[in-house]
């Protein structure tokens, strides 16, 4: 569903209000003593009261402002709207970073028009950085973002949050083919790493095991800054799973070849 200019500005401003509502919660709990609950079945998957209260604050604001819109979030059940629009929320992407005091977590907010995410916000309230994008442009605190050119993977800086995410058969070996070919590879970053691609500081992020709410806000930011984000097979990444985000299409093509055993 294409948006007209006034509607675009309205929804982008509202996404900012959602980020403000979440940050009022998350900053009160960050680097404070709080209970951590493990919701993982096989490995540690932490959630805190900050995650739950921040998502609830955003959901309440959406219900009051756009009651016909759907909501997909990490901590509560999906709400199906009567319009195609859905808000996709991750109140704290990077809860492990959050509970260890590292400012690499962020609040992810996307608006999906029923076909793909058309607006995205990644808010890091502790560092006072708000990244946003609409697939055509991207900004950090209102200043335009632009990816950096990189002609080959051998010159690229590569990020991945954790090796633990490569659980499906062959994923670890595939990632290692990419990592060995890169100039620099570092772990950590969560959503912040993707925004560093958009900001021209990092050349690629390669990850797996992701959910829709982990990626949908980041797609319009990466693409708006001139980058590319796909699945490992080059398809639509909006449902999560195994994804690749790159600033330069040449590096993206090289990574896909290696991931798929063609390099």
Does 254 appear as a known binding residue?
no
Which pair of structure tokens corresponds to residue 66?
């756009």
Determine contact, residues 157/183, Cβ cutoff 8 Å. yes
Quickly tell me which residue has 């996404």 as its tokens: 15
Which pair of structure tokens corresponds to residue 166?
């490569």
Does 173 appear as a known binding residue?
no
- The C-alpha angle 7, 8, 9, rounded to 5 degrees, equals 90
- Sign for the CA dihedral angle at 96, 162, 149, 112 comes to negative
Does 38 appear as a known binding residue?
no
| Cross-strand pairs, 139 | 132, 144
Determine contact, residues 206/187, Cβ cutoff 8 Å. no
Which pair of structure tokens corresponds to residue 101?
């005091």
Does 71 appear as a known binding residue?
no
Pairing of the two strands 70-73 and 86-93 = parallel
Does 93 appear as a known binding residue?
yes
Annotated binding residues for Mg(2+), written as ranges, equal: 74, 90, 92-93, 214
């Amino acid at each position: 569903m294409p948006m007209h200019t006034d509607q675009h500005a309205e929804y982008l401003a509202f996404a900012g209000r959602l980020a403000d509502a979440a940050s009022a919660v998350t900053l009160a709990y960050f680097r404070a003593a709080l209970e951590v609950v493990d919701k993982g079945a096989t490995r540690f998957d932490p959630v805190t009261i900050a995650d739950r209260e921040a998502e609830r604050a955003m959901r309440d604001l959406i219900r009051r402002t756009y009651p016909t819109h759907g909501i997909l979030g990490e901590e509560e059940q999906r709400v199906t709207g009567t319009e195609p629009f859905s808000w996709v929320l991750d109140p704290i992407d990077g809860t492990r970073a959050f509970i260890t005091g590292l400012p690499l977590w962020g609040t992810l907010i996307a608006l999906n028009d029923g076909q793909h995410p058309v607006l995205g916000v990644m808010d890091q309230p502790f560092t006072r950085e708000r990244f946003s994008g609409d697939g055509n442009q991207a900004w950090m605190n209102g200043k335009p973002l632009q990816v950096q050119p990189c002609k080959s993977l051998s010159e690229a800086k590569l990020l991945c949050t954790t090796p633990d995410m490569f659980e499906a058969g062959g994923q670890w070996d595939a990632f290692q083919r990419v990592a060995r070919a890169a100039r620099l590879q570092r772990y950590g970053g969560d959503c912040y790493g993707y925004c560093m691609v958009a900001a021209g500081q990092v050349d690629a992020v390669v990850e797996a095991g992701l959910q829709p709410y982990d990626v949908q806000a980041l797609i319009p930011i990466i693409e708006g800054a001139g980058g590319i984000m796909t699945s490992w097979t080059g398809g639509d990444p909006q449902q999560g799973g195994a994804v690749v985000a790159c600033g330069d299409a040449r590096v993206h093509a090289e990574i896909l070849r290696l991931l798929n055993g063609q390099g």
